[in-house]
Amino acid sequence: MMQESLAVLRFAASFLWADLKIEPSEASFFATLARELGVRNGALVEEILRAPPDPAQIDPTRVSPALARLVRQVALRAIASDGRVASREMELFDLLDELLPDQPPS
């Protein structure tokens, strides 16, 4: 589960970096998200947010169907975390949504 949690954090970081800067509200959201996901290593959390993730670390085609819904939800939360929704962020979300696998049937 830890690898999945780190992957979700990297997707969130990619959306937080979409406008090339991290606002205090975004950093606060990221820290809260890390706790929600059970990632307690503060240094690792800071490292993930320090710079935009490497594209190889956020390949939506490699996300499991079981994790796709969480990645979508976290991406939308990250977009809204600074109180503004930029068109570029939604374009990135649309691309992510298109590339993520479908969710497994319930």
How distant, in Å, are the alpha carbons of 26, 83, 85, 104, 106 from that of 14? 12, 17, 15, 25, 29
1 pLDDT exceeds 90? no
Rounded CA-CA distance 13/45 in Å is 10
Predicted confidence (pLDDT) per residue in 12-28, tens digit? 999 999 989 999 999 99
Predicted confidence (pLDDT) per residue in 45-102, tens digit? 999 999 999 999 999 999 999 999 999 999 999 999 999 998 889 999 999 999 999 8
Contact 10, 53 (CB under 8 A): yes
- What CATH number labels 2-99? 1.10.3680
- Predicted TM-score of the model (pTM): 0.92
Residue 43, token pair as written in the block: 């240094």
Rounded CA-CA distance 28/81 in Å is 9
